[in-house]
Structure 1
Amino acid sequence: MPQLNPTPWFIMLVSCWIVLLILIVPKVLAHTYCNSPAHQSAHVPNTTSWAWLWP
């Protein structure tokens, strides 16, 4: 049964990890976003309670 021979599968596993670490990870980390996140202001808006029309 060829599934029990780990040599070709191990080489495939190592080569996939090498491709992932050398080619794909730097491309993902170098990605720049179009819109940089803006900080929320520390100003708290003035809120008033609702004035009901009935007693």
Structure 2
Amino acid sequence: MPQLNPNPWFTIMIFTWLTLSLIIQPKLLSFTSANPPSNKTLTTLKANPWTWPWT
């Protein structure tokens, strides 16, 4: 069963992980958001009770 031999796949996994974590991730994290979140005050809505027509 060739899939149990980790020799070629382990090195590919390590190089891929290093590429993603050392090269691509800092580039992605350096981007600023085009629409940054704003600090809004939360308004609480006042719940009105439902008036049933038969009461």
Question: With structure 2 as the length reference, what TM-score do the two structures score?
Answer: 0.60
Identical amino acids, percent of aligned pairs: 40
Separation in 2 of the partners of 1:8 and 1:15?
Answer: 11
Query: What's the counterpart of residue 13 of structure 2?
Result: 13
Q: Superposition pairs for residues 1-55 of structure 1, below 5 Å?
A: 1-41=1-41
The letter of the residue matching 1:23 is I
How far apart are the structure 2 equivalents of 1:5 and 1:29? 35
Task: Tell me how far apart the structure 1 counterparts of residues 4 and 31 of structure 2 sit (CA, whole Å).
Answer: 41
Query: Which string of whole-angstrom CA distances, capped at 9 and with x for unpartnered residues, describes residues 1-55 of structure 1?
Result: 322221101001101101111111101211101232221147x6xx8x8xxxxxx
Equivalences, count: 46
Bigger CA radius of gyration:
1
User: Any unmatched runs of 5+ in structure 2?
Assistant: 49-55
